[in-house]
């Protein structure tokens, strides 16, 4: 089932809004065991809630003086000394599996807190004291949807995700790139931008999100990487927000083309791509995702089996999405076999990747036994 250019045009301008204030679903024991088995669950020196003991905040402005939606937080001296040491250790655990031999030249330059969004993350800036080079990582509440989203992205997308959990705390490596809204504002109409290649990547990104049922991919929830090529640039759009993994009830919520914040990218597809090209790019992405699925089929089967038993959304949203997907594929979805969001995700992946799965050897295409 390919994207229809007319439907894209009709979608432009729609104010599709994801559900507000998604509740945090703490990881259950069965997911925790998966994280342990695959090296994602480790002992960390502090928790998310330890960082909430700040004394005051200062609004952080961007380079143009506008509100960045982040606040820089401050702590009393005794608290700061403890946090500083622990955060450097956490960075070492995330980056070098806890090797502290490089820690002497590292310091914590700043801690920012974001009230905006569901996970209310802390962003930690680590600086190299010798050359002032800096890096970031994030500390968040461990949320089931987000963990599944990170894991699905790691297994099915062209991107590898570095993250770790400990009880109710989640830490993530910074994903580099130009935030989508800033890219649209500052780079989209630049003379050096190859709009056809960018439109192609948006179609492929749209497809990845739909296959994985990753929702809320408004422009500020993904980044754009510009990669120099032989004579031009290639582009990679990467999701950075996974809170809406298999949570939203509306089918269109899993298609970035339907968010008004992405209209400029949708317009590129309308202007520069025909329906045959769109179908080709979708098929290319489906094939690549199928190869990745085959190479990690045992791990993916384990993950999907766990998701099938887990609570990822409300009953109302599940029923709405099941209805929307049944209408989209013009098929009946068995209410006996598909009773949870996790089971619905498996059904969606089988529908979307069916043609590519049929081309694989049988011993590599089975992930639903």
As a whole number, the mean pLDDT across the chain is 92
Q: Give the per-residue pLDDT at 13.
A: 47
Q: Give the per-residue pLDDT at 361.
A: 73
Q: Give the per-residue pLDDT at 197.
A: 96
* Same domain as 323, residue 220: yes
* Same domain as 328, residue 200: yes
Instruction: Provide, rounded to the nearest whole percent, the portion of the chain with pLDDT above 90.
Output: 81
CA separation, residue 159 to residues 16, 100, 162, 176, 336 (Å): 27, 27, 10, 12, 35
* Same domain as 81, residue 215: no
Q: Which helix (H) or strand (E) holds 78?
A: helix 77-96
Q: Give the per-residue pLDDT at 360.
A: 73
Question: Could you tell me which residues are beta bridge partners of residue 227?
Answer: 234
C-alpha span between 180 and 264 (Å, rounded)? 11
C-alpha span between 215 and 252 (Å, rounded)? 9
* Same domain as 221, residue 189: yes
Exposure string for 299-327, b = 16+ CB within 10 A, e = fewer = bbbbbbbbbbebbbbeeebbebbbebbee
Residue 150 lies in a domain: no
At 347, list the tokens: 């059904």
Where a domain ends, among 119, 141, 163? 141
Q: Give the per-residue pLDDT at 357.
A: 85
Residue 97 belongs to domain spanning:
29-141
Work out how many domains the chain is built from and give that number: 2
C-alpha span between 69 and 6 (Å, rounded)? 36
- With a cut of 90, say whether residue 93 has pLDDT above it: yes
C-alpha span between 199 and 320 (Å, rounded)? 30
Helices (H), 214-296: 263-272, 275-295
Q: Which helix (H) or strand (E) holds 91?
A: helix 77-96
348-357 confidence digits (pLDDT tens): 999 999 988 8
Where a domain ends, among 141, 167, 198? 141
269-279 confidence digits (pLDDT tens): 999 999 999 99
Residue 169 lies in a domain: no
What is the rounded average pLDDT of the residues 92-114? 92
Q: Give the per-residue pLDDT at 312.
A: 97
pLDDT band at 18 (very low <50, low <70, confident <90, very high): low
C-alpha span between 302 and 36 (Å, rounded)? 13
Report yes or no: 84 and 24 within 8 Å, Cβ to Cβ: no
Report yes or no: 169 and 139 within 8 Å, Cβ to Cβ: yes
* Same domain as 114, residue 70: yes
At 128, list the tokens: 């190299």
Helices (H), 157-274: 180-186, 195-212, 263-272
Residue 14 lies in a domain: yes
pTM above 0.85, yes or no: yes
pLDDT band at 33 (very low <50, low <70, confident <90, very high): very high
pLDDT band at 199 (very low <50, low <70, confident <90, very high): very high
* Same domain as 355, residue 235: yes
* Same domain as 201, residue 70: no
Residue 240 lies in a domain: yes
Residue 156 lies in a domain: no
Q: Give the per-residue pLDDT at 9.
A: 47
Residue 168 lies in a domain: no
Q: Give the per-residue pLDDT at 213.
A: 98
- With a cut of 60, say whether residue 105 has pLDDT above it: yes
- With a cut of 90, say whether residue 89 has pLDDT above it: yes
Exposure string for 349-367, b = 16+ CB within 10 A, e = fewer = beebbeebbeebeeeebeb
Residue 124 lies in a domain: yes
* Residues 90, 93, 96, 98, Cα dihedral to 10°: 110
Q: Would you tell me how many other CB atoms lie within 10 Å of the CB of residue 20?
A: 6
Residue 160 lies in a domain: no
* Same domain as 136, residue 182: no
* Same domain as 286, residue 214: yes
* Same domain as 206, residue 331: yes
- With a cut of 50, say whether residue 6 has pLDDT above it: no
pLDDT band at 326 (very low <50, low <70, confident <90, very high): very high
* Same domain as 236, residue 97: no
C-alpha span between 249 and 207 (Å, rounded)? 18
68-78 confidence digits (pLDDT tens): 889 999 999 99
Where a domain ends, among 115, 141, 167? 141
Closest CA to 322 of 312, 332, 310: 332
At 113, list the tokens: 């807190």
* Same domain as 13, residue 41: no
What is the rounded average pLDDT of the residues 107-112? 96
Task: Report how far apart the first and last C-alpha atoms of the chain are (Å, whole number).
Answer: 25
Q: Give the per-residue pLDDT at 16.
A: 72
Write the DSSP symbol of residue 259: B
210-257 confidence digits (pLDDT tens): 999 999 999 999 999 999 988 899 999 999 999 999 999 999 999 999
C-alpha span between 301 and 363 (Å, rounded)? 13
- With a cut of 70, say whether residue 128 has pLDDT above it: yes
At 250, list the tokens: 């509306």
Where is pLDDT greater, at 229 or 299? 299
C-alpha span between 324 and 320 (Å, rounded)? 6
**3-class secondary structure, 9:** helix
């Amino acid at each position: 089932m390919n994207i229809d250019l007319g439907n894209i045009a009709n979608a432009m301008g729609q104010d599709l809004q994801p559900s507000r204030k998604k509740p945090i679903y703490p990881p259950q024991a069965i997911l925790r065991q998966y994280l342990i088995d695959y090296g994602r669950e480790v002992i960390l020196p502090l928790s998310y809630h330890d960082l909430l003991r700040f004394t005051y905040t200062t609004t952080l402005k961007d380079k143009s003086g506008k509100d960045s939606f982040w606040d820089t937080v401050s702590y009393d001296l005794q608290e700061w000394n403890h946090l500083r040491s622990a955060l450097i250790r956490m960075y070492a655990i995330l980056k070098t599996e806890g090797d502290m031999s490089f820690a002497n030249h590292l310091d914590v330059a700043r801690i920012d807190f974001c009230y905006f969004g569901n996970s209310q993350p802390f962003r930690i800036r680590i600086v190299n004291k010798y050359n002032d080079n800096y890096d970031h990582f994030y500390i968040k509440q461990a949320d089931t949807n987000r963990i599944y989203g990170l894991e699905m992205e790691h297994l099915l997308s062209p991107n590898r995700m570095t993250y770790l959990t400990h009880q109710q705390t989640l830490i993530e490596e910074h994903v580099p790139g130009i935030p989508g809204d800033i890219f649209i504002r500052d780079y989209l109409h630049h003379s050096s931008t190859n709009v056809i290649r960018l439109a192609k990547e948006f179609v492929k990104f749209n497809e990845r999100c739909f296959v994985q049922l990753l929702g809320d991919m408004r422009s500020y929830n993904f980044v754009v990487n510009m990669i120099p090529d032989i004579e031009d640039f290639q582009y990679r759009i990467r999701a950075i927000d996974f809170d809406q993994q298999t949570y939203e009830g509306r089918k269109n919520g899993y298609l970035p083309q339907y968010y008004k914040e992405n209209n400029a990218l949708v317009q590129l597809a309308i202007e520069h791509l025909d329906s045959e090209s769109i179908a080709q790019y979708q098929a290319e992405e489906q094939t690549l995702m199928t190869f990745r699925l085959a190479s990690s089929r045992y791990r993916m089967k384990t993950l999907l089996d766990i998701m099938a038993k887990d609570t990822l959304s409300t009953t109302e949203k599940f029923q709405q999405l099941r209805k929307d997907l049944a209408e989209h594929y013009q098929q009946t979805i068995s209410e006996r076999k598909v009773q949870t969001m996790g089971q619905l995700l498996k059904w969606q992946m089988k529908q979307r990747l069916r043609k590519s799965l049929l081309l694989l050897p049988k011993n590599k295409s089975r992930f639903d036994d």
